[in-house]
Amino acid sequence: MSLQPQKIETIPAETIRVAKAAFPKGNFCLKLRDEMGSLYQDEQFLKLFSNEGQLALAPWRLALITVLQFVEGLSDRQEAEMGRSRIDWKYLFAYKKVLVF
């Protein structure tokens, strides 16, 4: 795997709107992103990657997912479901797709 550091994405406006409506007083994930940014930057992980090969997923996201999984006591399967279903996680990771019903 190789790494080409990328700028941390800004949170899409629709994700912000839905997350702030769902958590008007905020929560851990929203406060974490608002106060500390992403916590990690791709450049912190450069020495762990080869200069050749398939591009890696953003290591800042993978590191943060691991931290959240530990903090919330989730299995791998539960963690994957949280990434699909929780707006606060979408906010933290700046995911673009938010379904509004």
23 domain-assigned: yes
> Based on the number of CB atoms within 10 Å of its own CB, is 30 exposed (0-12), middle (13-18) or buried (19 or more)?
buried
39 domain-assigned: yes
Domain count across the chain: 1
Task: Provide the residue range defining the domain that includes 83.
Answer: 13-93
| Integer Cα distance of 56 and 27 in angstroms | 30
- Mean pLDDT value across residues 26-44: 84
And the tokens for 28?
């851990």
| Integer Cα distance of 64 and 60 in angstroms | 6
3 domain-assigned: no
69 domain-assigned: yes
Report pLDDT for 101: 47
In the structure, what pLDDT confidence band is assigned to residue 38 with cuts at 50, 70 and 90?
low
4 domain-assigned: no
| Integer Cα distance of 90 and 101 in angstroms | 16
29 domain-assigned: yes
Q: Which pLDDT tens digit goes with each residue over 75-90?
A: 999 998 888 889 999 9
pTM, full prediction: 0.75
